[in-house]
Structure 1
Amino acid sequence: MKKNRVARKNSSNKSSKTLIDATIYQDLKNIQVHSKRLHSKASESYLDVTFSYENGVTWEGSIPIEYRRTGTELSDVLEIKEYLLQAYDHCQPNNRREWLVEQENFWRDNKDKAEVTKSLFDALTTFEWTCISCKFPNPNWARRNQDLKEFGFTIATYLHKSCNQCLKRTTHLILVPLPRGGISGYEAWSPATREKIITTLRGYDVYEGKLGKKESLLPDHKFPEIRWDANTRRSQEAINNLTDEEIIHDFQLMTNQRNQQKREVCRQCYQNNIRPYPFGIKFYYKGDERWPNDISKNGKDAEKGCIGCGWYDMEKWRNALNQKLAEFVENQEK
Protein backbone atom coordinates (compact mmCIF):
# COMPACT_ATOMS: atom_id res chain seq x y z
CA MET A 1 0.00 0.00 0.00
CA LYS A 2 2.83 2.43 0.85
CA LYS A 3 4.47 1.85 -2.55
CA ASN A 4 1.21 2.54 -4.32
CA ARG A 5 0.82 5.83 -2.43
CA VAL A 6 4.34 6.84 -3.42
CA ALA A 7 3.69 5.92 -7.04
CA ARG A 8 0.51 7.98 -7.11
CA LYS A 9 2.34 10.88 -5.47
CA ASN A 10 5.14 10.85 -8.04
CA SER A 11 2.65 10.47 -10.88
CA SER A 12 0.78 13.52 -9.60
CA ASN A 13 4.04 15.48 -9.53
CA LYS A 14 4.83 14.50 -13.11
CA SER A 15 1.41 15.53 -14.32
CA SER A 16 2.00 19.07 -13.04
CA LYS A 17 5.08 19.39 -15.27
CA THR A 18 4.62 20.01 -18.99
CA LEU A 19 7.42 19.90 -21.54
CA ILE A 20 7.70 23.06 -23.64
CA ASP A 21 8.20 23.22 -27.38
CA ALA A 22 11.74 24.61 -27.28
CA THR A 23 11.42 26.15 -30.75
CA ILE A 24 8.95 28.71 -29.37
CA TYR A 25 11.68 30.31 -27.28
CA GLN A 26 14.75 29.53 -29.38
CA ASP A 27 15.11 33.19 -30.43
CA LEU A 28 15.75 34.22 -26.82
CA LYS A 29 19.50 34.60 -26.62
CA ASN A 30 21.10 32.97 -23.55
CA ILE A 31 17.72 31.77 -22.27
CA GLN A 32 16.70 28.11 -22.40
CA VAL A 33 13.15 27.19 -21.41
CA HIS A 34 12.76 23.55 -20.38
CA SER A 35 9.25 23.02 -19.05
CA LYS A 36 6.22 24.56 -17.42
CA ARG A 37 5.17 23.55 -13.91
CA LEU A 38 1.98 24.15 -11.99
CA HIS A 39 1.88 24.54 -8.22
CA SER A 40 -1.88 24.19 -7.93
CA LYS A 41 -2.11 24.61 -4.16
CA ALA A 42 -0.54 28.08 -4.38
CA SER A 43 -2.18 28.91 -7.73
CA GLU A 44 1.26 29.50 -9.24
CA SER A 45 2.89 28.31 -12.46
CA TYR A 46 6.49 28.58 -13.52
CA LEU A 47 8.81 28.13 -16.46
CA ASP A 48 11.88 26.11 -15.57
CA VAL A 49 14.79 27.89 -17.21
CA THR A 50 18.54 28.08 -17.60
CA PHE A 51 19.99 31.59 -17.92
CA SER A 52 23.51 31.72 -19.40
CA TYR A 53 25.79 34.66 -18.62
CA GLU A 54 29.38 35.67 -19.34
CA ASN A 55 32.34 33.45 -18.40
CA GLY A 56 30.20 30.31 -18.50
CA VAL A 57 28.08 31.30 -15.48
CA THR A 58 24.56 29.85 -15.50
CA TRP A 59 21.50 30.14 -13.28
CA GLU A 60 19.00 27.30 -13.19
CA GLY A 61 15.68 28.12 -11.61
CA SER A 62 12.05 28.92 -12.26
CA ILE A 63 10.40 32.14 -13.37
CA PRO A 64 6.77 32.52 -12.28
CA ILE A 65 4.37 33.41 -15.10
CA GLU A 66 1.35 33.14 -12.81
CA TYR A 67 2.00 34.63 -9.40
CA ARG A 68 -0.99 36.26 -7.78
CA ARG A 69 0.91 38.27 -5.16
CA THR A 70 2.56 40.41 -7.83
CA GLY A 71 -0.38 40.31 -10.21
CA THR A 72 1.60 38.35 -12.77
CA GLU A 73 -0.64 36.34 -15.09
CA LEU A 74 0.90 35.74 -18.50
CA SER A 75 -0.32 33.46 -21.27
CA ASP A 76 0.57 35.21 -24.52
CA VAL A 77 3.91 33.94 -25.88
CA LEU A 78 5.24 37.39 -26.78
CA GLU A 79 4.33 38.74 -23.34
CA ILE A 80 6.12 35.79 -21.73
CA LYS A 81 9.20 36.40 -23.88
CA GLU A 82 9.33 40.04 -22.84
CA TYR A 83 8.96 39.02 -19.20
CA LEU A 84 11.74 36.42 -19.46
CA LEU A 85 14.08 39.01 -20.95
CA GLN A 86 13.47 41.35 -18.04
CA ALA A 87 13.84 38.51 -15.53
CA TYR A 88 17.13 37.56 -17.23
CA ASP A 89 18.46 41.09 -16.65
CA HIS A 90 17.38 41.14 -13.00
CA CYS A 91 18.98 37.72 -12.35
CA GLN A 92 22.39 38.83 -13.64
CA PRO A 93 25.00 37.54 -11.13
CA ASN A 94 26.65 40.97 -10.88
CA ASN A 95 23.32 42.49 -9.79
CA ARG A 96 22.80 40.19 -6.81
CA ARG A 97 25.03 41.99 -4.30
CA GLU A 98 23.22 45.28 -4.85
CA TRP A 99 19.89 43.47 -4.64
CA LEU A 100 20.85 41.88 -1.32
CA VAL A 101 21.91 45.27 0.07
CA GLU A 102 18.46 46.63 -0.81
CA GLN A 103 16.80 43.75 0.99
CA GLU A 104 18.97 44.19 4.09
CA ASN A 105 17.76 47.79 4.22
CA PHE A 106 14.20 46.47 4.00
CA TRP A 107 14.76 44.08 6.91
CA ARG A 108 16.46 46.79 8.93
CA ASP A 109 13.42 49.04 8.51
CA ASN A 110 11.06 46.18 9.39
CA LYS A 111 12.72 44.54 12.37
CA ASP A 112 9.42 43.27 13.72
CA LYS A 113 8.90 41.29 10.51
CA ALA A 114 12.50 40.10 10.38
CA GLU A 115 12.51 38.42 13.76
CA VAL A 116 10.70 35.23 12.75
CA THR A 117 10.86 35.33 8.95
CA LYS A 118 14.32 36.47 7.89
CA SER A 119 15.91 33.15 8.84
CA LEU A 120 14.20 31.48 5.88
CA PHE A 121 15.17 34.39 3.63
CA ASP A 122 18.82 34.00 4.69
CA ALA A 123 18.68 30.26 3.91
CA LEU A 124 17.53 31.06 0.37
CA THR A 125 20.13 33.71 -0.51
CA THR A 126 22.20 31.17 -2.44
CA PHE A 127 19.63 31.74 -5.23
CA GLU A 128 19.72 27.98 -5.79
CA TRP A 129 17.13 25.27 -5.20
CA THR A 130 17.10 24.75 -1.43
CA CYS A 131 15.85 21.57 0.22
CA ILE A 132 13.62 22.54 3.13
CA SER A 133 14.34 19.31 5.02
CA CYS A 134 18.10 19.85 4.87
CA LYS A 135 18.47 23.62 5.10
CA PHE A 136 15.44 24.76 7.08
CA PRO A 137 14.01 21.93 9.20
CA ASN A 138 11.47 24.24 10.81
CA PRO A 139 7.90 22.93 11.10
CA ASN A 140 6.62 26.46 10.37
CA TRP A 141 8.59 26.93 7.16
CA ALA A 142 5.38 27.11 5.07
CA ARG A 143 4.14 30.03 7.18
CA ARG A 144 7.52 31.77 6.85
CA ASN A 145 7.42 31.19 3.08
CA GLN A 146 3.97 32.76 2.88
CA ASP A 147 5.22 35.75 4.88
CA LEU A 148 8.13 36.27 2.47
CA LYS A 149 5.72 36.23 -0.45
CA GLU A 150 3.47 38.71 1.33
CA PHE A 151 6.49 41.00 1.73
CA GLY A 152 6.85 40.98 -2.06
CA PHE A 153 9.65 38.46 -2.55
CA THR A 154 9.41 36.09 -5.52
CA ILE A 155 9.88 32.48 -4.46
CA ALA A 156 9.32 29.46 -6.67
CA THR A 157 8.37 26.08 -5.23
CA TYR A 158 9.26 22.61 -6.52
CA LEU A 159 7.36 19.77 -4.86
CA HIS A 160 8.96 16.32 -4.58
CA LYS A 161 12.32 17.38 -6.05
CA SER A 162 15.23 14.97 -5.54
CA CYS A 163 17.79 16.23 -3.02
CA ASN A 164 21.44 15.27 -3.52
CA GLN A 165 22.15 15.68 0.20
CA CYS A 166 19.37 13.80 2.02
CA LEU A 167 18.60 11.63 -1.03
CA LYS A 168 14.87 12.17 -0.61
CA ARG A 169 12.21 13.77 -2.74
CA THR A 170 11.35 16.91 -0.78
CA THR A 171 9.96 20.39 -1.21
CA HIS A 172 12.56 22.80 -2.61
CA LEU A 173 12.36 26.59 -2.72
CA ILE A 174 14.35 29.07 -4.78
CA LEU A 175 14.58 32.83 -4.23
CA VAL A 176 14.37 34.72 -7.53
CA PRO A 177 16.12 38.13 -7.29
CA LEU A 178 13.37 40.16 -8.92
CA PRO A 179 12.36 43.55 -7.48
CA ARG A 180 10.27 43.13 -4.36
CA GLY A 181 6.65 43.26 -5.51
CA GLY A 182 7.53 41.96 -8.99
CA ILE A 183 8.97 43.58 -12.09
CA SER A 184 7.51 47.06 -11.70
CA GLY A 185 8.68 48.23 -15.09
CA TYR A 186 6.77 45.56 -16.95
CA GLU A 187 3.55 46.48 -18.72
CA ALA A 188 1.34 43.52 -19.55
CA TRP A 189 -0.54 44.05 -22.80
CA SER A 190 -3.60 42.13 -23.86
CA PRO A 191 -3.56 40.74 -27.42
CA ALA A 192 -6.11 43.45 -28.32
CA THR A 193 -3.83 46.24 -27.04
CA ARG A 194 -0.86 44.78 -28.86
CA GLU A 195 -2.89 44.65 -32.07
CA LYS A 196 -3.97 48.27 -31.56
CA ILE A 197 -0.35 49.43 -31.18
CA ILE A 198 0.77 47.56 -34.29
CA THR A 199 -2.19 48.85 -36.30
CA THR A 200 -1.71 52.45 -35.15
CA LEU A 201 1.96 52.31 -36.14
CA ARG A 202 0.90 50.78 -39.49
CA GLY A 203 3.11 47.73 -39.21
CA TYR A 204 6.23 49.82 -39.85
CA ASP A 205 9.50 48.14 -38.84
CA VAL A 206 11.69 51.03 -37.67
CA TYR A 207 14.90 49.00 -37.81
CA GLU A 208 14.41 47.97 -41.44
CA GLY A 209 12.74 51.26 -42.38
CA LYS A 210 9.87 49.55 -44.17
CA LEU A 211 6.60 47.72 -43.61
CA GLY A 212 6.98 44.34 -41.93
CA LYS A 213 4.86 41.29 -41.26
CA LYS A 214 2.51 42.07 -38.38
CA GLU A 215 2.95 38.66 -36.80
CA SER A 216 6.73 39.18 -36.51
CA LEU A 217 6.64 42.72 -35.09
CA LEU A 218 6.80 43.61 -31.42
CA PRO A 219 5.76 46.91 -29.80
CA ASP A 220 8.92 48.37 -28.30
CA HIS A 221 9.00 51.06 -25.62
CA LYS A 222 11.21 53.84 -26.93
CA PHE A 223 12.12 54.64 -23.32
CA PRO A 224 13.87 51.46 -22.09
CA GLU A 225 12.36 49.64 -19.11
CA ILE A 226 15.75 49.33 -17.38
CA ARG A 227 15.51 53.06 -16.58
CA TRP A 228 11.95 52.90 -15.24
CA ASP A 229 11.03 53.29 -11.61
CA ALA A 230 7.84 52.48 -9.70
CA ASN A 231 6.19 55.68 -10.93
CA THR A 232 6.92 55.09 -14.63
CA ARG A 233 4.70 52.11 -15.22
CA ARG A 234 1.14 52.78 -16.41
CA SER A 235 -1.84 51.34 -14.61
CA GLN A 236 -3.58 48.44 -16.32
CA GLU A 237 -6.53 50.71 -17.11
CA ALA A 238 -4.21 53.22 -18.81
CA ILE A 239 -2.57 50.45 -20.84
CA ASN A 240 -5.95 49.22 -22.03
CA ASN A 241 -6.95 52.75 -23.09
CA LEU A 242 -3.84 54.03 -24.85
CA THR A 243 -4.58 56.91 -27.22
CA ASP A 244 -3.14 57.09 -30.72
CA GLU A 245 -1.00 60.04 -29.60
CA GLU A 246 0.44 58.05 -26.70
CA ILE A 247 1.19 55.09 -28.94
CA ILE A 248 2.97 57.22 -31.54
CA HIS A 249 4.97 59.06 -28.87
CA ASP A 250 5.95 56.06 -26.72
CA PHE A 251 6.27 53.07 -29.05
CA GLN A 252 7.99 51.82 -32.17
CA LEU A 253 7.86 48.44 -33.89
CA MET A 254 10.70 45.99 -34.45
CA THR A 255 11.26 42.24 -34.48
CA ASN A 256 11.90 40.35 -31.27
CA GLN A 257 15.54 39.87 -32.31
CA ARG A 258 16.08 43.63 -32.64
CA ASN A 259 14.16 44.23 -29.43
CA GLN A 260 16.60 41.95 -27.62
CA GLN A 261 19.51 43.78 -29.24
CA LYS A 262 18.12 47.12 -28.10
CA ARG A 263 17.52 45.77 -24.60
CA GLU A 264 21.18 44.74 -24.39
CA VAL A 265 22.66 48.02 -25.65
CA CYS A 266 20.34 50.00 -23.33
CA ARG A 267 21.50 47.85 -20.42
CA GLN A 268 25.13 48.59 -21.31
CA CYS A 269 24.32 52.31 -21.56
CA TYR A 270 22.73 52.17 -18.12
CA GLN A 271 25.85 50.57 -16.69
CA ASN A 272 28.61 52.60 -18.37
CA ASN A 273 26.85 55.90 -19.26
CA ILE A 274 27.93 55.60 -22.91
CA ARG A 275 25.04 55.98 -25.34
CA PRO A 276 24.98 53.38 -28.14
CA TYR A 277 24.41 53.89 -31.85
CA PRO A 278 22.87 51.55 -34.47
CA PHE A 279 24.53 50.25 -37.66
CA GLY A 280 27.93 51.43 -36.40
CA ILE A 281 26.99 55.02 -37.32
CA LYS A 282 28.11 57.33 -34.51
CA PHE A 283 25.47 60.00 -34.99
CA TYR A 284 23.14 61.63 -32.48
CA TYR A 285 20.46 64.14 -33.45
CA LYS A 286 20.80 65.59 -29.95
CA GLY A 287 23.75 65.36 -27.57
CA ASP A 288 26.66 62.98 -27.98
CA GLU A 289 27.75 59.56 -26.75
CA ARG A 290 27.99 60.61 -23.09
CA TRP A 291 24.96 60.27 -20.87
CA PRO A 292 24.21 63.84 -19.66
CA ASN A 293 25.57 64.46 -16.16
CA ASP A 294 22.58 66.61 -15.21
CA ILE A 295 19.99 63.93 -15.99
CA SER A 296 19.14 61.13 -13.56
CA LYS A 297 19.62 57.51 -14.59
CA ASN A 298 16.16 56.37 -13.49
CA GLY A 299 12.61 57.63 -13.55
CA LYS A 300 10.57 59.49 -16.12
CA ASP A 301 13.06 62.40 -16.25
CA ALA A 302 15.71 59.93 -17.43
CA GLU A 303 13.92 59.78 -20.78
CA LYS A 304 15.46 63.18 -21.62
CA GLY A 305 18.87 61.50 -21.65
CA CYS A 306 17.72 59.02 -24.31
CA ILE A 307 16.64 61.72 -26.79
CA GLY A 308 19.05 61.88 -29.70
CA CYS A 309 20.04 58.21 -29.52
CA GLY A 310 19.23 56.14 -32.59
CA TRP A 311 17.86 53.28 -30.52
CA TYR A 312 15.47 55.57 -28.65
CA ASP A 313 13.60 56.80 -31.73
CA MET A 314 15.05 55.05 -34.74
CA GLU A 315 12.83 56.71 -37.34
CA LYS A 316 13.55 60.22 -36.06
CA TRP A 317 17.27 59.35 -35.96
CA ARG A 318 17.14 58.05 -39.54
CA ASN A 319 15.33 61.15 -40.80
CA ALA A 320 17.78 63.46 -39.02
CA LEU A 321 20.74 61.58 -40.48
CA ASN A 322 19.27 61.68 -43.99
CA GLN A 323 18.72 65.41 -43.59
CA LYS A 324 22.38 65.87 -42.63
CA LEU A 325 23.46 63.88 -45.68
CA ALA A 326 21.18 65.89 -47.96
CA GLU A 327 22.61 69.15 -46.61
CA PHE A 328 26.14 67.87 -47.12
CA VAL A 329 25.44 66.89 -50.73
CA GLU A 330 23.75 70.23 -51.39
CA ASN A 331 26.75 72.13 -50.01
CA GLN A 332 29.15 70.03 -52.09
CA GLU A 333 27.22 70.88 -55.26
CA LYS A 334 27.33 74.63 -54.66
Structure 2
Amino acid sequence: MSNQNLRQDLIQEIKSKIKKESTQSKVFDLLSDQQWHCRSCEGKMIASEQYAGGGGIQGLQRGTQNRPGLVIETKKLNCQQCNKITNWDRWTGEIKESNTAANIPTTLKKRIFEIYSYTDVIEQRKRPAHELVIDHRFPMERWGNAEEKHQVTMSEEAIRKKFQLLKKDSSGNHNLLKSRSCERCIDTGKRGTPLGIRFWYAGDEDWTSPHQRGVEAEQGCIGCGWYDFEAWRNALNDKIANLKLND
Protein backbone atom coordinates (compact mmCIF):
# COMPACT_ATOMS: atom_id res chain seq x y z
CA MET A 1 0.00 0.00 0.00
CA SER A 2 1.38 3.46 -0.94
CA ASN A 3 2.18 6.19 1.58
CA GLN A 4 -0.65 8.26 0.10
CA ASN A 5 -3.15 5.47 0.77
CA LEU A 6 -1.81 4.98 4.29
CA ARG A 7 -2.22 8.70 4.93
CA GLN A 8 -5.79 8.69 3.68
CA ASP A 9 -6.59 5.65 5.82
CA LEU A 10 -5.22 7.44 8.89
CA ILE A 11 -7.22 10.59 8.09
CA GLN A 12 -10.43 8.60 7.72
CA GLU A 13 -9.75 6.69 10.94
CA ILE A 14 -9.24 9.94 12.86
CA LYS A 15 -12.34 11.53 11.29
CA SER A 16 -14.43 8.53 12.31
CA LYS A 17 -13.55 9.21 15.95
CA ILE A 18 -14.40 12.93 15.92
CA LYS A 19 -17.97 14.13 16.26
CA LYS A 20 -19.33 15.06 12.82
CA GLU A 21 -19.95 18.77 12.13
CA SER A 22 -18.16 19.72 15.36
CA THR A 23 -15.61 22.55 15.51
CA GLN A 24 -12.91 19.95 16.06
CA SER A 25 -13.99 18.09 12.92
CA LYS A 26 -13.80 21.33 10.88
CA VAL A 27 -10.37 22.17 12.29
CA PHE A 28 -9.11 18.69 11.43
CA ASP A 29 -10.51 18.98 7.90
CA LEU A 30 -8.49 22.19 7.50
CA LEU A 31 -5.25 20.76 8.90
CA SER A 32 -5.50 17.33 7.30
CA ASP A 33 -3.63 18.57 4.20
CA GLN A 34 -0.54 18.96 6.45
CA GLN A 35 0.04 22.50 5.17
CA TRP A 36 0.51 25.67 7.25
CA HIS A 37 -2.70 27.59 8.00
CA CYS A 38 -3.11 31.06 9.48
CA ARG A 39 -4.99 30.91 12.76
CA SER A 40 -6.25 34.49 12.50
CA CYS A 41 -7.93 34.40 9.11
CA GLU A 42 -8.56 30.70 8.37
CA GLY A 43 -9.17 29.76 12.00
CA LYS A 44 -11.67 32.55 12.61
CA MET A 45 -13.71 31.38 9.63
CA ILE A 46 -14.19 28.09 11.48
CA ALA A 47 -14.60 29.19 15.09
CA SER A 48 -12.91 32.30 16.46
CA GLU A 49 -13.43 31.30 20.10
CA GLN A 50 -12.70 27.55 19.96
CA TYR A 51 -10.24 27.09 17.11
CA ALA A 52 -7.14 26.96 19.32
CA GLY A 53 -8.73 25.54 22.46
CA GLY A 54 -10.09 22.23 23.65
CA GLY A 55 -12.72 22.23 20.92
CA GLY A 56 -10.07 22.62 18.23
CA ILE A 57 -6.29 22.37 18.03
CA GLN A 58 -5.71 21.72 21.72
CA GLY A 59 -8.30 18.93 21.73
CA LEU A 60 -6.79 17.37 18.63
CA GLN A 61 -3.36 17.45 20.25
CA ARG A 62 -4.61 15.84 23.46
CA GLY A 63 -6.53 13.00 21.85
CA THR A 64 -9.23 11.06 23.65
CA GLN A 65 -9.66 7.71 25.35
CA ASN A 66 -10.23 6.10 21.92
CA ARG A 67 -8.23 8.42 19.64
CA PRO A 68 -4.49 9.24 19.69
CA GLY A 69 -3.30 12.82 19.90
CA LEU A 70 -2.03 14.65 16.83
CA VAL A 71 1.41 16.23 16.49
CA ILE A 72 0.58 19.84 15.52
CA GLU A 73 3.26 22.47 15.05
CA THR A 74 2.67 26.18 15.63
CA LYS A 75 4.86 29.10 14.59
CA LYS A 76 4.59 32.77 13.69
CA LEU A 77 4.61 33.72 10.02
CA ASN A 78 3.71 36.74 7.97
CA CYS A 79 0.18 36.46 6.60
CA GLN A 80 -0.41 38.39 3.38
CA GLN A 81 -4.16 38.27 3.95
CA CYS A 82 -3.95 39.61 7.53
CA ASN A 83 -1.04 41.91 6.66
CA LYS A 84 0.68 41.05 9.95
CA ILE A 85 2.63 38.36 11.77
CA THR A 86 0.20 35.71 13.03
CA ASN A 87 0.16 32.19 14.50
CA TRP A 88 0.14 29.41 11.93
CA ASP A 89 -0.57 25.71 12.58
CA ARG A 90 0.30 22.52 10.71
CA TRP A 91 -0.45 18.87 11.40
CA THR A 92 2.75 16.95 10.71
CA GLY A 93 0.82 13.82 9.81
CA GLU A 94 2.11 12.12 12.95
CA ILE A 95 0.14 10.84 15.93
CA LYS A 96 1.14 10.51 19.59
CA GLU A 97 -0.14 8.92 22.77
CA SER A 98 -3.30 10.56 24.09
CA ASN A 99 -2.96 12.74 27.19
CA THR A 100 -6.66 13.12 27.88
CA ALA A 101 -8.16 13.33 31.35
CA ALA A 102 -9.85 10.28 32.84
CA ASN A 103 -13.52 10.55 33.72
CA ILE A 104 -14.12 11.45 37.35
CA PRO A 105 -16.72 9.06 38.81
CA THR A 106 -19.87 10.74 40.14
CA THR A 107 -19.18 9.52 43.67
CA LEU A 108 -15.70 11.04 43.60
CA LYS A 109 -17.00 14.31 42.15
CA LYS A 110 -19.43 14.62 45.06
CA ARG A 111 -16.60 14.01 47.56
CA ILE A 112 -14.43 16.68 45.89
CA PHE A 113 -17.28 19.22 46.01
CA GLU A 114 -17.94 18.40 49.67
CA ILE A 115 -14.27 18.60 50.68
CA TYR A 116 -14.12 22.11 49.21
CA SER A 117 -17.62 22.99 50.49
CA TYR A 118 -18.79 23.75 46.93
CA THR A 119 -16.65 26.92 47.06
CA ASP A 120 -14.56 28.21 44.16
CA VAL A 121 -10.99 28.97 45.16
CA ILE A 122 -10.64 32.39 43.49
CA GLU A 123 -13.80 34.30 44.46
CA GLN A 124 -14.38 32.10 47.53
CA ARG A 125 -18.10 31.85 46.78
CA LYS A 126 -20.22 28.84 47.54
CA ARG A 127 -21.86 27.74 44.30
CA PRO A 128 -24.11 25.03 42.87
CA ALA A 129 -22.17 22.17 41.29
CA HIS A 130 -23.04 23.23 37.73
CA GLU A 131 -21.18 26.52 38.29
CA LEU A 132 -17.99 24.75 39.37
CA VAL A 133 -15.19 23.04 37.43
CA ILE A 134 -13.02 20.41 39.07
CA ASP A 135 -9.64 21.65 37.92
CA HIS A 136 -6.47 19.56 37.77
CA ARG A 137 -3.76 21.71 39.36
CA PHE A 138 -1.16 20.29 36.96
CA PRO A 139 -2.41 21.27 33.46
CA MET A 140 -3.04 18.41 31.07
CA GLU A 141 -1.12 20.26 28.33
CA ARG A 142 2.01 19.19 30.21
CA TRP A 143 1.01 15.61 31.15
CA GLY A 144 2.59 13.83 28.20
CA ASN A 145 0.24 10.83 28.39
CA ALA A 146 -3.31 9.83 29.30
CA GLU A 147 -4.42 10.06 32.90
CA GLU A 148 -4.88 6.86 34.84
CA LYS A 149 -8.34 5.87 36.08
CA HIS A 150 -9.42 7.67 39.25
CA GLN A 151 -10.04 5.61 42.36
CA VAL A 152 -13.26 6.56 44.18
CA THR A 153 -11.43 5.80 47.44
CA MET A 154 -8.88 8.58 46.79
CA SER A 155 -7.84 10.12 50.11
CA GLU A 156 -8.67 13.71 51.04
CA GLU A 157 -4.95 14.51 51.02
CA ALA A 158 -4.63 13.19 47.46
CA ILE A 159 -7.73 15.12 46.36
CA ARG A 160 -6.37 18.39 47.76
CA LYS A 161 -3.00 17.77 46.12
CA LYS A 162 -4.53 17.03 42.71
CA PHE A 163 -7.64 19.21 42.39
CA GLN A 164 -9.06 22.66 43.10
CA LEU A 165 -12.47 24.17 42.26
CA LEU A 166 -12.79 26.98 39.73
CA LYS A 167 -15.92 28.85 38.72
CA LYS A 168 -17.77 28.57 35.44
CA ASP A 169 -20.86 30.78 35.35
CA SER A 170 -22.51 33.34 33.08
CA SER A 171 -20.01 36.03 34.15
CA GLY A 172 -16.82 34.09 33.50
CA ASN A 173 -14.90 30.84 33.25
CA HIS A 174 -11.77 30.76 35.37
CA ASN A 175 -10.83 27.32 34.04
CA LEU A 176 -10.66 28.77 30.52
CA LEU A 177 -8.51 31.67 31.75
CA LYS A 178 -6.14 29.18 33.38
CA SER A 179 -5.94 27.09 30.19
CA ARG A 180 -4.99 30.14 28.13
CA SER A 181 -2.35 31.11 30.70
CA CYS A 182 -0.86 27.59 30.65
CA GLU A 183 -0.76 27.64 26.84
CA ARG A 184 1.15 30.93 26.93
CA CYS A 185 3.53 29.48 29.52
CA ILE A 186 4.31 26.53 27.24
CA ASP A 187 4.78 28.85 24.24
CA THR A 188 6.85 31.56 25.96
CA GLY A 189 8.35 30.03 29.12
CA LYS A 190 6.71 32.80 31.18
CA ARG A 191 4.47 31.67 34.02
CA GLY A 192 0.98 32.95 34.76
CA THR A 193 -0.18 36.14 36.46
CA PRO A 194 -3.70 35.52 37.88
CA LEU A 195 -5.79 38.72 37.91
CA GLY A 196 -2.79 40.45 36.32
CA ILE A 197 -0.79 40.22 39.58
CA ARG A 198 2.91 39.54 39.01
CA PHE A 199 3.58 37.39 42.07
CA TRP A 200 4.82 33.82 42.50
CA TYR A 201 4.97 32.09 45.87
CA ALA A 202 7.99 30.09 44.71
CA GLY A 203 10.38 31.03 41.92
CA ASP A 204 9.58 33.85 39.52
CA GLU A 205 7.95 34.36 36.13
CA ASP A 206 10.40 32.08 34.30
CA TRP A 207 9.73 28.39 33.76
CA THR A 208 12.92 26.83 35.11
CA SER A 209 12.20 23.10 35.02
CA PRO A 210 14.29 21.23 32.43
CA HIS A 211 11.17 19.16 31.73
CA GLN A 212 8.39 20.53 29.54
CA ARG A 213 6.02 17.55 29.86
CA GLY A 214 5.59 14.48 32.02
CA VAL A 215 5.33 14.01 35.78
CA GLU A 216 8.69 15.74 36.33
CA ALA A 217 7.35 18.93 34.75
CA GLU A 218 4.88 19.52 37.59
CA GLN A 219 7.70 20.96 39.70
CA GLY A 220 7.84 23.89 37.27
CA CYS A 221 4.21 24.81 38.08
CA ILE A 222 4.79 25.21 41.82
CA GLY A 223 4.70 28.89 42.71
CA CYS A 224 2.20 29.89 40.02
CA GLY A 225 -1.17 31.09 41.27
CA TRP A 226 -3.04 29.10 38.66
CA TYR A 227 -1.45 25.90 40.00
CA ASP A 228 -2.50 26.51 43.62
CA PHE A 229 -4.52 29.68 44.03
CA GLU A 230 -5.03 29.20 47.77
CA ALA A 231 -1.29 28.86 48.45
CA TRP A 232 -0.66 31.84 46.14
CA ARG A 233 -3.20 34.05 47.95
CA ASN A 234 -1.94 33.05 51.41
CA ALA A 235 1.68 33.78 50.43
CA LEU A 236 0.70 37.13 48.92
CA ASN A 237 -1.23 38.11 52.07
CA ASP A 238 1.77 37.11 54.22
CA LYS A 239 4.06 39.25 52.07
CA ILE A 240 1.73 42.26 52.39
CA ALA A 241 1.49 41.76 56.18
CA ASN A 242 5.29 41.61 56.48
CA LEU A 243 5.68 44.78 54.45
CA LYS A 244 3.29 46.60 56.80
CA LEU A 245 5.24 45.38 59.84
CA ASN A 246 8.46 46.71 58.35
CA ASP A 247 7.05 50.16 57.51
TM class, shorter-length: 0.5 to 0.7
Q: Which of 41, 64, 75 in structure 2 is aligned with 1:56?
A: 41
* Residues 1:240 and 2:152 are matched in the alignment: yes
* Equivalence for 2:166: 254
Which residue type is aligned with residue 298 of structure 1? R
SS at match of 1:219: strand
Match of residue 58 from structure 2: 89
Query: Is 2:125 the partner of 1:210?
Result: yes
Describe the shift of the 1:262–1:45 C-alpha distance in structure 2 as closer, same or farther (beyond 3 A): closer
Q: Is 2:183 the counterpart of 1:267?
A: yes
Residues 90 and 246 of structure 1, relative CA distance in 2, 3 Å threshold: same
Structure with larger Rg = 1
Aligned to 1:100: 92
Q: Which has the higher helix share?
A: 1
CA contact (8 A) 2:99 2:144 kept: yes
Asked if the contact 1:49–1:60 (Cα under 8 Å) also holds between the matched residues in 2, the reply is no
Task: Specify the alignment match of 1:283 in structure 2.
Answer: 199
How many residue pairs get aligned? The number is 187
The partner residue of 1:322 within 237, 241, 244 is 237
SS of residue in 1 equivalent to 2:22:
strand
Greater relative contact order (CA < 8 Å, ≥ 6 in sequence) = 2
Distance between the aligned counterparts of 2:245 and 2:147, measured in 1? 45
CA-based RMSD of the aligned residues comes to 3.0
1:1-334 correspondence to structure 2 within 5 Å: 46=19, 48-50=21-23, 54-58=39-43, 85=54, 88-91=57-60, 94-95=73-74, 97=90, 99-100=91-92, 103=94, 179-180=95-96, 183-230=98-145, 233-234=147-148, 236=149, 238-256=150-168, 257-292=173-208, 294-332=209-247
What's the CA shift for 1:87?
A: 5.0
- Identity percentage over the alignment? 30
TM-score scaled by length of structure 2:
0.66
Change (3 A) 1:260 1:329: same
In structure 2, distance between residues paired with 1:242 and 1:209: 24
Q: TM-score, normalised by structure 1?
A: 0.50
**Residue identity in the other structure for 2:223:** G
Cα distance in structure 2, aligned partners of 1:330 and 1:281: 22
Structure 1, unpaired ranges of 5+:
1-42, 62-80, 104-178
